[in-house]
Structure 1
Amino acid sequence: SRRGTAAPPSCSPRASRGTTIIVLPDVASQADPRQWEYSTYDVGSADLSWFSSIFFAEAEGESLYIFGHGPNPDGSAPTQFSKTILARAAFSDLLGHKWGNIEYWVGAGTWSPSPENFRALDVPSWETTCVWSEELGVWYSFNIEPFGSEIFMWTAEAITGTWTRTSVYKIPAPFNASPYLNYAAKAHPELVQPAVTAEAVDVKLGLGCACACGCACDSMAVRERGVELMLSFVTNVLTADTDEQHGQSTGNLLFGKGQMAWPVRAYWPRFL
């Protein structure tokens, strides 16, 4: 079902009750992940979850933004239909288990130490990422509407909005229909090539054309062609058919004979 409509009985929303933060303070000094030391602590509550996304607020410094979700209108625990809420924290505070120092966005230019009057953002999020693009001059995040088969890119010049969406990819068959379920659309800026090449800079400065044809190209057009974004999403199975085990992440459609072939392989990240 689409946003704003009830989910079918076999595809009930997945509730999130509380969040656990895992702290790994010094992974760079130990190459073997099995030797990493870590600690955990619980944050939020049954009404406030914070697992969706955490990211730096600026290119330098330790300020972080955190995407979370509040309760549904009926008071039930957060689900993928819940509105996104925003908090900010210092990286050192989270490392030190000091969740009590975070602040919640409650309105234009206003933050509060209490979540009681939080204000929802107009961007959906659930198992996602949010990234600042210096080249585009916007924050951006990818999202698949609950039980949908289309990936949208949401953008805003400020983290608090106004956010707008653009369709960027329609998930093909067989994954675009029941019993398949698509979610966790995430940006991967760490895999992207630098957006502006030396040739593009030359054109911008009027030093020549970057195209093989030798034409007088518009410098911004060359710059725009240099901006590359990468993302991934996951396809799962959620079914109640008699031929499949009831529930998510189970059944022959995932692990049966022939189902690990790439054209039909689900429960595996797909990159775009």
Structure 2
Amino acid sequence: MAKDTFLNRKITLNLKGELLDLSRPVVMGILNLTPDSFYSNSRISSVDLALERAENCLEEGAVFIDIGAYSSRPGADDVSTDEELRRIVPVVEAISKRFPEARLSIDTFRAKVAGESIEAGAHIINDISGGELDEQMFETVARLQVPYILMHMKGNPQTMQEDPAYNNVSLDVVDYFEQKLYTLKNLGVRDIILDPGFGFAKTTDHNYELLNHMQNLDIFGLPVLVGFSRKSMIYKFLGNTPQEALNGTTVLNTIALEKGAKILRVHDVKAAAECIALVEKLQER
């Protein structure tokens, strides 16, 4: 296998003046501050538990920690902006103080939450809605000049799984990114990560078709993040549960790495870090 594959491609992100090299894929550990996350083992209910989770993620090899306070599982209850801020800002402040080396991503579709979280010490905005649920989001990202994770989704967490339909899911996602990137780049947003949005407004067949053609995203020359971790596209297909879906997660992460993924967003950091190490070893041959 050639050494200039996308797995080894040099890509950098500017994290508040720190230039992070993504020539080697990295792990993003999930930190859920929601009481109703689909994976019950991931729910965090206090600052102390959040600090413990952050420490574990860093020790197991996470380069990023993605902090979310609004459950994006299908059919999740709405959460007010004030409640989202109440949950997330103290945790960002506490982790930034205890672990200043931690690179924090904020999983939110709200510009106000994004802005206040960056001010509190976070580095990246991870927006599941691609700016569709808050018209101020793109301008906020441009003003803050922080990396932005642009995800594909239709509708919102309450409606996204109501009979999602595509002409061709892979090409439709490419068209979506092309339009969004045009807007973001015209606003001066420099560092963008693409997330195909596995599990968001997609059937099981859509998810696997999208993964099968994920290399179509190579045309943008941007880092790609994937998030399969313990999702229903794995456990419903296999007939088990989120608690039993780690093996399936690792399989899909391996395939995504071979197709150019740069960031694995996961609940299980150690397993994902080992997955990256083994795929890298294979690419040496």
TM-score by length of 1: 0.23
Q: Which has the higher strand share?
A: 1
Q: Which has the higher helix share?
A: 2
TM-score by length of 2: 0.22
Greater C-alpha radius of gyration: 1
